[in-house]
Structure formats: C-alpha cells, structure tokens
Amino acid sequence: MKKILLLTIITFISYIQLSAQKFDKILEKSNLNFNYGISHDFFAKSIDSGGPGNTLDLTERDVWGQIFGFEYSYRLKGKNEIGFGFSKQVHRRVYNQSINTSFTTINFDDNLLRNSKNFHSIHWKRHLIEDKLLTTVGFYNLRYRDEDIGIIAISDETIVNIRNSVRVIDFGVWVGLEYYYDIRNFQVGLRSRLFYTQGYSFDSFESFEFTPVIKFKL
C-alpha cells in the first residue's frame, strides 16, 4: 500500500512539473499589450435631423473620440501571432441650447449624450520586420450603446424621449499596422486600424483608430 501511495505521489509531482514546464513555454511565446488613443467614428458625422411631423432627433456626436483596450497574443512558428482582445470606443457631445416648439421651450444645459462601442475580437498578426513592424487582421463582434433625445410636438403637448438603446452587430473585420520600439523589458509603439462592419445599408466603414501601445512579454 505504501509503494502504491509513493508511486501515486511521484506521478502527481511529475505531472505538476511537466505542466509547469509547458506553461512556462506558453508564457515565453506570449505578450500582453494595452492601448489608449483617438478614434474617428464615421457615423458621428450624422447631423441632428427632423422626423415625420413636428419632431426632432438629437443624435449628433463629435467625430473624434477615444478608444482603449487590451490584447493577448501568442507567437506561432515563423512570423505569425494569434490572439484575442477587447477595446472600447467612446464619442460624446454636450448640448447647450434652447429648442422652441409651438407650445413650449426646451432648455438643454450641459446635457451629455454618449455613444460607446465594444469590440470583442480575435486577431492574426505577421511580423514584417521582426519585433518592429507588424500587419494585423482582426475579426470582431460589435456591441454598442446609443444615447439620443427625441422631441415630438403633437396636438397641445410636447413629448421629450430620452433613449438609451443597446444593439448588437454580429460581424466585422479590421486591418491595420503596428510599429514598436524596445525599452528594456517592454516595448512602446503606435498602431492604426480601419474597422469595417457587415450589414449596414449605407457606409460600411465603422471607425478608424490611431493609438499608442505598450507591450509586455510574459
């Protein structure tokens, strides 16, 4: 019984050591990066517009906003990497204005409308210049939240609707370039990406980003 117990303990220890060695090899080929920068939203350029009848929709956002997120990548054989990541894009507009209807005046005082987009993605990267210049392609699921205000003047009353809707776009793709510079145990760099979303009936380009990046090798 003691021999069986000893053999079991030895086997278990050997398994733990082997697993630790495999995990170390995975970490040696892994890197984690964080980014924060500017983004251009192709849909933020839409202007506030009137709807049917005596209605007005406040939907306009600033074209330029911010984007931030993180990515994990694993180095394959050769010049290729694969991985996954998450990024969040935010665009805002502050309304300070008065809107007159047939029955009343509506005042907006520092009223903030916010549009946010969440990109959950997988990616492929290829080293054009080793550890310096990379090209990248990503596939993402897009979930975004819109805030807008609708004003409707009917009969003898005015109705103000403040909406905060959540929508899901099933599929999109980006293409981009990344450049890095070595600083001791990490790298700093810049990246640019152009996002394209399937399913829109007008402009299919989603957004463009240009962000600084800091990358750590695990």
Task: Give the model's pLDDT for residue 53.
Answer: 53
Distance separating alpha carbons of residues 207 and 116, to the nearest angstrom: 12
Task: Give the model's pLDDT for residue 204.
Answer: 72
Task: Give the model's pLDDT for residue 12.
Answer: 47
Task: Give the model's pLDDT for residue 112.
Answer: 78
Highest mean pLDDT among 88-92, 153-157, 201-205: 88-92
Per-residue pLDDT at 45 exceeds 50: yes
Say which range, 35-39, 99-103, 112-116, has the weakest mean pLDDT.
99-103
Domain that holds residue 131: 31-217
Please report whether residue 25 resides in a domain.
Answer: no
Please report which confidence band the pLDDT of residue 215 belongs to, taking 50, 70 and 90 as the band edges. very high
Please report whether residue 21 resides in a domain.
Answer: no
Structure tokens at 74: 């694993």
Cβ pair 105, 99 in contact under 8 A? yes
Cβ pair 190, 179 in contact under 8 A? yes
Task: Give the model's pLDDT for residue 192.
Answer: 96
Please report whether residue 208 resides in a domain.
Answer: yes
Task: Give the model's pLDDT for residue 132.
Answer: 93
Q: What is the CATH number of the domain that holds 62?
A: 2.40.160.20
The closest of 200, 190, 65, 192 to 142, measured between CA atoms, is 200
Please report which confidence band the pLDDT of residue 1 belongs to, taking 50, 70 and 90 as the band edges. low
Number of domains in the chain: 1
Per-residue pLDDT at 165 exceeds 80: no
Per-residue pLDDT at 8 exceeds 70: no
Please report whether residue 144 resides in a domain.
Answer: yes
Please report whether residue 105 resides in a domain.
Answer: yes
The residue count for the chain: 218
Task: Give the model's pLDDT for residue 160.
Answer: 72
Please report whether residue 139 resides in a domain.
Answer: yes
The closest of 34, 204, 55, 41 to 115, measured between CA atoms, is 41
Please report whether residue 19 resides in a domain.
Answer: no
